[in-house]
Amino acid sequence: MITVVLAQPRGFCAGVERAIEIVERALRKYGPPIYVRHEIVHNRHVVEDLRKRGAIFVDELDEIPRGAITVFSAHGVAKRVEEAAAERGLPVINATCPLVAKVHNEGRRYAAQNREIVLVGHAGHAEVEGTIGQVPAKVHLVQTVEDVATLEVADPDKLAYITQTTLSVDDTRGIIQALKDRFPNIVGPDVRDICYATQNRQQAVRDLAHTVDLLLVVGSRNSSNSNRLREIGQELGKPSYLIDDAHALEAAWFEGIRTVGLTAGASAPETLVQGVLDGLRRIDTIEVTAQDGVAEDVRFRFPAELADVE
């Protein structure tokens, strides 16, 4: 028999729930098709489900007919994207996570102080590209402590840093310390501004890894926070697998395994977690228990045009 311990918290965060609900409400209010620039969240199952219901996902705005209802994803977009949508006459519903929007506002505030900005994040991530495009200042992207050593800035005394929301305090601590060591007058947000959901899910996995033999993370390959959860399990010495769903399970993983930790990235729905439990039951008898952890009750408001849609 295998004991499966469910991480708490796991799965959808408030920003993801809001973004998905925005697309669902838009479909109910305006009818299909609704056009969404990029994946609304980084989960293949969520995207496929919305596609079946009439959402059309596009890479660029020129793929959207003029005047069609358009949704921007939870990751946020650059200013130039907003301007291009206005030029094309696209009625836009903005599903940017409020915590991402908060980072944009911080960046603009520092830019207004004539500071160059250091953004701690992953190159190519949709949120990073959107943030860089929202800040009217020179933005330096750093991904590692080593990157800090090679930074070239105009004025070391006029610097500020901001961070990608899907990185936790632990992910960024070393880089921020390196920035402060090299640029003593750098300013930045309080650590309390780090995304609560990222921090909570990572802490749950750290606690879980001390009590289980193996870790399963439900999430898509292109999900930054899901990948990080798997990495944490690996760093703590436990075999750790990132899986899309139950179909990815391999019986060989569980030979000699007595306890399995099961979590999900912030963009993975609970139905996939329950599906993985069913998949594990096909491999062995399981007993399911829940980890003691943080209960999240954060909720974000919907855009005004959808606030009254049920």
Q: Which residues belong to the active site?
A: 127
* CB-based burial label for 210 (10 Å; 0-12, 13-18, 19+): exposed
- Spatial neighbors of 140 by CB under 8 A, at least 6 apart, are 116, 117, 118, 119, 151, 153
The counts of H helices and E strands in the chain are: 10, 12
Could you tell me if 110 and 117 are in contact, meaning their C-beta atoms sit under 8 angstroms apart? yes
CA distance 177 to 184: 10
Task: Give the start-end residues of each E strand in 129-169.
Answer: 139-142, 159-163
**Residue 241 DSSP symbol:** E
Could you tell me if 124 and 165 are in contact, meaning their C-beta atoms sit under 8 angstroms apart? no
From first CA to last CA, the distance across the chain in angstroms is 44
- Spatial neighbors of 122 by CB under 8 A, at least 6 apart, are 128, 143, 164, 224
